[in-house]
């Protein structure tokens, strides 16, 4: 599966005031990892950068700070499963 739609349990608003209720996640590529590692100073920053690159609509790390932890964990579970 190369893409997955994720209906958020707890929709949130981005810094620009756009409500996000659903995300489309794609499997990350090696280039995404390389770019995320350039943007991140620690593992949490790298993870946030990676998520921002593989989801649609695009999210910034600041946008994701408003996301509920349950939805964030669903995204990280998708990313962890994409290594299969």
pTM: 0.85
Can you state the percent helix, strand and coil of the chain, rounding each to 5? 45, 25, 30
Scan for tokens 């390389």, then name that residue. 34
In a domain, 83, yes or no: no
pLDDT band for position 80 (cuts 50, 70, 90): confident
In a domain, 64, yes or no: yes
Residue pair 10/72 in contact by the 8 Å Cβ criterion: no
The predicted structure's pLDDT at residue 83: 64
The closest alpha carbon to 44, from 69, 13, 22, 25, belongs to 69
In a domain, 44, yes or no: yes
E runs forming strands in the chain: 3-13, 19-26, 55-56
In a domain, 45, yes or no: yes
Q: Which domain holds residue 27?
A: 3-78
Mean pLDDT on 51-57: 94
Residue pair 78/28 in contact by the 8 Å Cβ criterion: no
Lowest model confidence (mean pLDDT) among 1-5, 10-14, 15-19, 23-27:
1-5
Domain total for the chain? 1
């Amino acid at each position: 599966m190369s893409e997955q739609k994720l209906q958020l349990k707890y929709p949130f608003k981005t810094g620009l005031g756009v409500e996000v209720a659903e995300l489309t996640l794609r499997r990350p590529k090696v280039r995404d990892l390389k770019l995320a590692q350039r943007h991140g100073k620690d593992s949490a920053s790298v993870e946030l950068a990676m998520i921002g690159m593989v989801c649609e609509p695009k999210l910034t790390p600041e946008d994701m700070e408003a996301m509920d932890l349950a939805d964030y964990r669903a995204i990280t579970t998708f990313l962890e499963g994409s290594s299969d």
